[in-house]
Amino acid sequence: MSPAVISPDGRWWWDGTQWRSRLVEGELDLFWFTSTQDWIPRILVTGLIGLIPIVGIINMYGWTLTATDMVRQRWRELPPAGFQYLERGVAPFVVGLVYGVVALLVLGSLALTAILVGSSDHGRVAIAILIGLLDVLLAIAWWLLMLYLFAAILAGSDRLGIERALDPRRLWAIARANSGPTLSIAGIYLLGALALAAIGAGVGIVVPFGGLIVNLGLPGVFAILVPFLVRITVDAAPPPTTSESIQHAG
């Protein structure tokens, strides 16, 4: 008779050839999850859910934060796939959405100004080009800033709530105080997203909707981020303003 999948004390699982620990032992490597129980179906099903517009990314944020909690509590395992992470993923999604809308309004206004200036007077085409170039540079700078603040948005909105995470000073303080894991998360997320996009584009040429199939691996990128998210602390949020202090005192 083969041994049970999970040991009686819950600390070990049987992979078909040997017992593997379910607990964190030492430092986790980038692909720590590939030696955990049921990691392939958990990533694929979570990736399938991730294909649902809006709901999918909200659920994936919650799933990632739950995985971070499990590792922080010394459990070396990915959370089961499902929609139960939606509520927890709302905060980072809303915070990211608000910052995105602000960027869209600012950048859109500049783009519209460039169009109006260039079309109203051909003598001002050079000015319109300069405004358009400024718009592009600001868009790149904003994208890089959001990439840098990605870890702070995930951890800050989850621990502090939406209202406090909408304060850019708090997010900046969290990112600066955790510069090591913040930069690691930004770099890994960027490389992972670019890799999936490149593979998806190549597969999409051969297989219809191949890009969507490749995106099933996106939860794997988030799983790689987990050991770095565990190291993010939110203690570095700036002190409240005078008005906030008066409010709390009241």
Pairing outcome for strands 19-21 and 12-14: antiparallel
DSSP state, 124?
A: G
Which tens digits make up the pLDDT trace of 225-249? 999 999 999 874 555 554 443 444 3
Structure tokens belonging to residue 39? 């990691």
Which tens digits make up the pLDDT trace of 186-221? 999 999 988 988 888 888 788 777 777 888 889 999
Task: Provide the CA 169 distance to its chain's centre, in angstroms.
Answer: 19
The answer to whether the CB of 173 falls within 8 A of the CB of 159 is no
Q: Residue 205, Cβ neighbours under 10 Å: how many?
A: 10
One digit per residue, the tens of pLDDT, for the chain of length 250 reads: 344 587 777 777 776 777 777 788 778 889 999 988 889 999 999 999 999 999 999 999 999 999 999 999 988 889 999 999 999 999 999 999 999 999 999 999 999 998 888 887 777 788 889 999 999 999 999 999 999 999 999 999 999 999 999 999 999 999 999 999 999 999 999 999 889 888 888 887 887 777 778 888 899 999 999 999 999 998 745 555 544 434 443 4
Please, which residues have CB within 8 angstroms of residue 195's CB and are 6 or more apart in sequence? Answer: none
In 3D space, the residue among 92, 36, 26 whose CA is nearest the CA of residue 63 turns out to be 92
